[in-house]
Amino acid sequence: MWYEILPGFFIIVGCVTAVGMGNNLWQRLANGGKLRRVVNSRFEYTMVRRDMKLAGLEWRAKGLEALPKPE
């Protein structure tokens, strides 16, 4: 009958969900509790490069106190 495919369906859905959630968890563990930044445009790429220059890491952004003081 049609309901015989349900166990296989739930196994496949469970595996796909586990992989997606596992990837999310791995990124949070690897990046200090934050998700990986996604760069979709040139502006976002520029901001990631700025954060790398100021803080040393792309996922640990600093505020205005990290900017050099004008002389």
Task: Please give the pLDDT value at position 47.
Answer: 81
Please check whether residue 34 is in contact with residue 59, taking contact to mean a CB–CB distance below 8 angstroms: yes
Record the pTM.
0.47
At 30 the pLDDT is 79
Burial class of residue 59, CB neighbours in 10 A (0-12, 13-18, 19+): middle
Q: Is the pLDDT of residue 10 over 90?
A: yes
For 19-64, the pLDDT digits (tens) are 999 988 888 887 776 666 677 888 888 887 887 787 776 666 666 6
